[in-house]
Amino acid sequence: MNNTIINTNTMKTKAFLLTALLFVAFGSKSFAQDECATLGSLFTAPAKAKNYQAALPHYQPLVDKCPTWSVAVYQYGTMMFEDFIEKGDKSKITDLENTVRLRMQHFPSKTKEGREMANIAQVKYEAGIGTKMEQYKAFEAAFKKDEATFTSPKSLYTYFSLAVDLQEEGKMDVQDVFNLYDTIIDKLEKEETQLAKSLIQLTDKEEAGTALSSKEKKNLSRYETNLGAYGKVKGSVNGKLGNLANCENLIPLYEKLFEEKKNDVNWLKSAAGKLNSKDCETPMFFKMVQQLHTLDPSAKSAFYLGRLAEKDGDASKAMDYYNQAAELETNPKDRAKVYYSIAENMRRKGSLSSARNYYNKAVAESPTFGNAYLRIAKMYASSANNCGATAFEKRAIYWKAANMADKAARVDGSIASVARQTASSYRGLAPGKTEIFSSGMAGKTITFNCWVGGSVKVPNL
């Protein structure tokens, strides 16, 4: 009997202790959560309002006690320390770096390393922290660590700009600058291509008469803005390269290096590419191309031989080489250039329909190839007198030309200004409001039976 009482009491004691332990554990956890929520609110509330002086005292206690509370802590922390640095407190750079480090540690899946590292490098550059070489190395480390998320147009330009500055100071080899130029331009064009594909899907939907949702309209605006930014930066990168890569400098440089590098296929491709892009008139280009075609017959060498044949006035031979290049080329961007050259060849011959076909092939490979759209627009406009039975119909072709020029502006920020001016000029040549009213054609569709084909809708009054 006594043993039973003792066992019962023991079991009750154990149950009580277990209950107490559970209470302590869950109560403690609940208390910790409440404390983190309180600390989080004390920091994020003023940080959201950009009252960083009020937010700052609560930042460190929050990350010390609750480092995994929310990724927003590090997002606001980054903005806060950037603001202090921008206003002159360079001592906060260490805090900024620690904030990004903690975010990478605690929220790796929500952190884009390349973007964050490039952002810190940009902040240091703008604040004048470190030497140019140190600043350059910071961008280089970000790019090599995570190229995919290193997408800031401003930072890509700064990265390249520093390289040119270092070369001018004698601290970087000119060939390294050229190599980086190729890398940066390739990166910019990759980002442009991705954006342009998304933009074209929406513009095609819009042109087909389907209304875009509010979200799609916002995306369309964002794509256009970002494409414009990349286009401008590409122009700035080319401008920064400037005289360093003009024919006067390139020709003697490559003549000096040719014997040493003539068996280096990659060097030949890069050098020939630059001479070709600058349209440098030199026997050196022919020597390079012949050597490249001997060592590594490829789309590139066939394309360059096509350019040479075209300069010699042998259009037929040029076309043979261009077709070879198109068949061999695997890089979409470079295949687009081949198609564009074929289109130009066709256009000069007066084969406008075939030219349009190849211009369209060019933009299918490289959606940001705005010049191809501009060429089509110009061909449409030049055909005004040959399309349509009446004067009104003939001039209606200018609306179609303007729409094509608009497309060029949307996908290619580097020529957006010229393309918009071109579109405006074509619309000025189309029938005006008075003519639309008197013709009774407002809102009607005009179909073109000439080579242009397709149709255009007359604007409503």
| pLDDT score of 15 more than 80 | no
The per-residue pLDDT for 278 is: 84
Q: What is the mean pLDDT of residues 379-395?
A: 93
Please state the domain extents for the chain.
368-461
pLDDT higher than 50, residue 20 = no
Whether 19 has a pLDDT exceeding 60, the answer reads: no
Q: Which residues pair with 457 in a beta bridge?
A: 445
* 16: pLDDT strictly greater than 70: no
Q: What pLDDT does residue 230 have? A: 93
User: Confidence band (pLDDT; 50, 70, 90) for 136?
Assistant: very high
Contact 184, 160 (CB under 8 A): yes
pLDDT digits (tens, 9 = 90+) for 85-117: 999 999 999 999 999 999 999 999 999 999 999
Reply yes or no on whether the pLDDT at 78 is more than 70. yes
Task: Give per-residue pLDDT as tens, 220-278.
Answer: 999 999 998 998 999 899 889 887 888 888 899 899 999 999 999 988 988 998 898 88
Backbone angles phi, psi at 446, to 5 degrees: -110, 125
Say what the pLDDT of residue 9 is. 52
Question: What pLDDT is attached to residue 312?
Answer: 86
Q: Is the pLDDT of residue 461 over 90?
A: no
Q: Flag whether pLDDT at 351 surpasses 80.
A: yes
- Give the model's pLDDT for residue 21: 46
Query: What distance in Å separates the CA atoms of residue 247 and residue 239, rounded to the nearest whole number?
Result: 15
pLDDT tens digits, one per residue of 191-227: 999 999 999 899 888 878 888 999 999 999 999 999 9
Residue 2: pLDDT above 60? no
Tokens at 136, concatenated: 């350059």
Of the given ranges (133-137, 268-272, 355-359, 424-428), which has the lowest mean pLDDT?
268-272
Q: Is the pLDDT at 52 greater than 70, yes or no?
A: yes
For 140-150, the pLDDT digits (tens) are 999 999 999 99
Report, as an integer, the average pLDDT of 279-305: 88
150 close to 114: Cβ distance less than 8 angstroms: yes
The per-residue pLDDT of the chain, averaged, comes to 89
Cα separation, 419 vs 172, whole angstroms? 38
